[in-house]
């Protein structure tokens, strides 16, 4: 088997729900290797985003360990998390979440310190070379999401995390987006985890998991 | 810094409004600053511009030259002690009028020794000669239609004074100064009041103070100026308003940015999620406040300087560069302090909450 990029074992997370504690993640294990695109499906409120936030070091689990590129990270201090997020993880959010005051290429160069030529090249690959100097407000929904994808790919992070990246797109554009993530994972040997509602893109992924009652089940 | 600037220029309309308010308020602050100095000079420039470093007054004079008097023996001792480093000074509020008119004009007489170091520099005419009946006027009297060579009359005594020169920037207690010789001063006193006691009010000293003369008290020039009637109260009141306004402006910037940054919580959450350090986010906020405050201060300073040049000389408005610099630097510093409220709030933003999918 290939190198493990994301390893989550025994993850428990519960939230206070009124008086009670509601266990959203109940001893979840997930391991994703390099060159692999994994999809997580499941009903709304089942804890998919929570799982992704823990994998992305934005939320600490109540129990369990997270390892990225073989390195245990759960015990590291907050500041180290921020640095690791920048260096090791590329996020793609449901709504592009681009900064409105930066042009498309500045989202990568100014925010992440990406090289300008490399950014242009990446934009070319994703078919958005023509929008490099435009602000998000001037872009179409699909273009915005592709800029957001470029941002996730820019730092050469080994782990790509996408939370419903196709939710705001029509099915054709949604499919294109998933194809781009798949290609990045396969060609550049990255690990990608995608939360999705869209059954029609599941043929593009390598493995599918289902989140239900706090458990993650392989489909 | 770069990020801060990009955001300012992208949302320039919003920040321009903030900037305009800052400029207007800082302009008001500098206007007050100019007024403080201007009014201060109107009260004290006659004393302030003297080449004296200290004054020796009679006991119980409460630092007021007008009510002080030295005995002949004290004056003699002071003359022996200081030689040419001392010179007498009498001060008296009075009225004078043009020979041709009954209209009384406020005046403060400075009785001096024409040969001593208090003799004013004249920019028109000559100095006082040793004789009596001559006067050197502050140039504000020119606005009242008095010209070089005219004869004016001291209202209470009727003593006639020939205008032999004009000097600049000499006021005392909001009233323009007229310089006469000590002899002329005494002559006016004797003619105006049969009970007049001829005595030197005070002695101005140049250089260091020497041995103390019994029955006298010595004060520095600053102490004498502070004690001028109205000086301290006026200066304190306006200075307080000035600094209060400065602080309010700085806090207003802080509040503006607090509200603006509250609306950007989503953006900050995203920045943190993609690994922007809290230090960099904070730095962005502080630089924005710094840019707005510093730019506003600079523009307000330019406007105030332009206004200072445009105002007529008779307006008590005078910008002291050092004072302007102090208030502007303090303003920028307090603005940055007030921006820390935004920083504290933004530092606590949890990226997971901000982008955590459905749960808000
Ligand atoms: N910060 C939180 N505090 C309390 N409850 C939360 C919090 N975040 C998520 N939840 C709850 O946890 C459950 C899972 O949320 P989430 O992971 O966003 O689900 P999904 O992404 O699968 O829709 C939901 O019931 C939600 O209400
Ligand atoms: Mg979700």
CB proximity B6 to A under 8 Å: yes
A48 lines ligand 1 (CB under 6 A): yes
- What gap in Å lies between CA B117 and CA B303, rounded to an integer? 39
CB proximity B211 to A under 8 Å: no
- How does residue B268 score in pLDDT terms, banded at 50, 70 and 90? very high
* pLDDT confidence of residue B161: 95
CB proximity A102 to B under 8 Å: yes
DSSP string, chain A: -PPEEEEEEEEEEEEEETTEEEEEEEEEEEEEETTEEEEEE--TTSSHHHHHHHHTTSS--SEEEEEETTEE-TTS-HHHHHHHHHHHEEEE-SS----TTS-TTHHHHHHH---HHHHHHHHHHTT-GGGTTS-GGGS-HHHHHHHHHHHHHHT--SEEEEESTTTTS-HHHHHHHHHHHHHHHHHHT-EEEEE---GGGGGGSSEEEEEETTEEEE-
What does the pLDDT average to over B322-350? Answer: 93
CB nearest A163 (choices: B2, B267, B357) = B357
Q: Cβ contacts (< 8 Å) between A116 and chain B: which residues?
A: none
Domain ranges of chain B: 2-44+232-354, 54-207
Beta-bridge partner residues of A218: A209
Other Cβ atoms less than 10 A from the Cβ of B80: the count is 10
Radius of gyration of chain B, Cα coordinates, nearest whole angstrom: 29
To the nearest whole number, what is the mean pLDDT of chain B? 91
Contact in structure between B99 and B160 (CB atoms under 8 Å): yes
DSSP string, B117-134: TTPPP-SEE----SSSSE
Query: Across chain B, which distance is largest between two alpha carbons, in Å?
Result: 98
Phi, psi of B211 (to 5 degrees): -55, 145
Distance between B254 CA and the closest CA of chain A, angstroms: 22
CB nearest B356 (choices: A53, A102, A106) = A53
A103 lines ligand 1 (CB under 6 A): no
What's the CA-to-centroid distance between B265 and ligand 2, angstroms? Answer: 19
Does residue B354 surpass a pLDDT of 80? no
Distance between A101 CA and the closest CA of chain B, angstroms: 5
- What gap in Å lies between CA B1 and CA B8, rounded to an integer? 11
- How does residue B197 score in pLDDT terms, banded at 50, 70 and 90? confident
Q: What pLDDT, in 10s, does the model give residues B137-151?
A: 998 898 888 999 999
- What gap in Å lies between CA A209 and CA A41, rounded to an integer? 6
Q: Cβ contacts (< 8 Å) between B267 and chain A: which residues?
A: 99-100
- What gap in Å lies between CA B21 and CA B25, rounded to an integer? 6
- How does residue B359 score in pLDDT terms, banded at 50, 70 and 90? very low
* Predicted-assembly ipTM surpassing the 0.85 threshold: yes
CB proximity A151 to B under 8 Å: yes
Using the atom order of ligand 1, give the atom closest to the CA of residue A53. 17
Domain limits for position A57: 4-218
Does residue B314 surpass a pLDDT of 80? no
CB proximity A56 to B under 8 Å: yes
B101 or B135: which leads in pLDDT: B135
Q: Are A82 and B276 inside 8 Å of each other by CB?
A: yes
B356 lines ligand 1 (CB under 6 A): yes
Q: What pLDDT, in 10s, does the model give residues A53-107?
A: 999 999 999 999 999 999 999 889 888 999 999 999 999 988 889 999 999 999 9
Disruptive mutation site among B6, B274, B276, B284 for chain A (greatest number of A CBs within 10 Å) = B274
**Domain CATH number, residue A75:** 3.40.50.300
Percent of chain B with pLDDT over 90: 70
In order along chain A (219 residues), what is the average pLDDT of each group of 10 residues?
Answer: 89 91 94 96 92 92 93 88 93 90 96 94 94 96 93 94 88 91 95 93 95 93
Place of tokens 């502007």: B328
Q: Cβ contacts (< 8 Å) between B274 and chain A: which residues?
A: 85-86, 91, 111-112, 151
- What gap in Å lies between CA B354 and CA B360, rounded to an integer? 7
- How does residue B339 score in pLDDT terms, banded at 50, 70 and 90? very high
What does the pLDDT average to over B294-322? Answer: 91
- Domain total in chain A: 1
- What gap in Å lies between CA B64 and CA B227, rounded to an integer? 7
Radius of gyration of chain A, Cα coordinates, nearest whole angstrom: 17
Q: Note the pTM of the prediction, 2 decimals.
A: 0.83
Q: Mapping DSSP to helix (H, G, I), strand (E, B) and coil, where does residue B178 land?
A: strand
* pLDDT confidence of residue B356: 60
Q: Cβ contacts (< 8 Å) between B10 and chain A: which residues?
A: 100-102, 135
- What gap in Å lies between CA B324 and CA B302, rounded to an integer? 11
Disruptive mutation site among B14, B261, B357 for chain A (greatest number of A CBs within 10 Å) = B357
Contact in structure between B75 and B140 (CB atoms under 8 Å): no
- How does residue B193 score in pLDDT terms, banded at 50, 70 and 90? confident
Of the residues B350, B357, B359, B360, which should be mutated to test ligand 1's pocket, given the most ligand atoms within 8 Å of the CB? Answer: B359
CB proximity B351 to A under 8 Å: yes
Locate the chain A residue with the closest alpha carbon to B280: A111
* pLDDT confidence of residue B178: 96
* pLDDT confidence of residue A1: 56
CA of A40, nearest ligand number: 1
What does the pLDDT average to over B21-43? Answer: 92
């Amino acid at each position: 088997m290939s190198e493990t990029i994301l390893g989550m074992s025994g993850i428990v997370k519960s939230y206070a729900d009124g008086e009670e504690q509601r266990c959203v993640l109940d001893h979840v294990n997930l391991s994703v290797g390099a060159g692999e695109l994994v999809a997580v499906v499941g009903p709304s409120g089942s804890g998919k985003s929570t799982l992704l936030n823990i994998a992305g070091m934005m939320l600490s689990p109540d129990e369990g360990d997270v390892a990225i590129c073989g390195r245990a990270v759960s015990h590291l201090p907050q500041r180290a998390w921020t640095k690791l997020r920048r260096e090791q993880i590329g996020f793609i959010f449901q709504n592009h979440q681009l900064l409105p005051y930066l042009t498309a290429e500045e989202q990568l160069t100014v925010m992440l310190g990406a090289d300008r030529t490399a950014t242009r090249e990446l934009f070319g690959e994703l078919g958005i070379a023509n929008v490099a100097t435009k602000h998000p407000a001037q872009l179409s929904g699909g273009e915005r999401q592709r800029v957001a994808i470029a941002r996730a790919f820019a730092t050469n992070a080994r782990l790509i995390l996408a939370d419903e990246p196709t939710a705001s797109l029509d099915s054709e554009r949604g499919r294109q987006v998933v194809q781009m993530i798949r290609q990045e994972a396969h060609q550049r040997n990255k690990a990608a985890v995608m939360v999705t509602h869209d059954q029609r893109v599941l043929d593009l992924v390598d493995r599918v998991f289902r989140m239900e009652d706090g458990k993650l089940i392989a489909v | 810094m770069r990020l801060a600037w990009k955001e300012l220029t992208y949302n320039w309309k919003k920040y321009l409004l903030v900037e305009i308010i800052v400029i207007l308020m800082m302009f008001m602050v500098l206007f007050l600053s100019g007024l403080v100095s201007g009014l201060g000079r109107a009260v004290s420039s006659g004393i302030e511009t003297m080449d004296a470093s200290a004054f020796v007054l009679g006991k119980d004079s409460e630092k007021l030259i007008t009510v002080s008097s030295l005995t002949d023996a004290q004056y003699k001792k002071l003359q022996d002690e200081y030689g040419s480093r001392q010179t007498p000074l009498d001060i008296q509020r009075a009225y004078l009028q043009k020979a041709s008119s009954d209209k009384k004009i406020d005046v403060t007489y400075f009785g001096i020794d024409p040969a001593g170091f208090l003799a004013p520099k004249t920019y028109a005419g000559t100095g006082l000669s040793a004789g009596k009946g001559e006067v050197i006027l502050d140039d504000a009297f020119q606005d009242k239609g008095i010209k070089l060579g005219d004869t004016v009359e001291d209202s209470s005594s009727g003593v006639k004074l020939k205008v032999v020169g004009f000097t600049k920037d000499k006021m005392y207690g909001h009233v323009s100064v007229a310089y006469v010789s000590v002899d002329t001063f005494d002559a006016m006193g004797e003619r105006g009041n049969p009970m007049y006691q001829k005595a030197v009010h005070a002695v101005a000293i140049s250089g260091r103070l020497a041995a103390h003369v019994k029955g006298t008290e010595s004060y520095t020039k600053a102490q004498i100026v502070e004690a001028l009637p109205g000086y301290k109260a006026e200066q304190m009141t306006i200075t307080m308003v000035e600094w209060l306004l400065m602080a309010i402006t700085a806090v207003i910037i802080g509040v503006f940015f607090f509200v603006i940054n509250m609306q950007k919580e989503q953006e900050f959450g995203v920045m943190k999620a993609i690994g922007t350090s809290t230090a960099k986010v904070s730095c962005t906020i502080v630089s924005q406040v710094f840019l707005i405050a510093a730019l506003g201060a600079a523009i307000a300073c330019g406007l105030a300087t332009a206004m200072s040049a445009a105002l007529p000389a008779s307006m008590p408005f005078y910008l002291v560069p050092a004072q302007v610099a102090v208030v502007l630097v303090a303003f920028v510093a307090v603005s940055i302090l007030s921006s820390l409220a935004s920083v504290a709030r933004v530092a606590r933003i949890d990226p997971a909450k901000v982008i955590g999918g459905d749960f808000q």
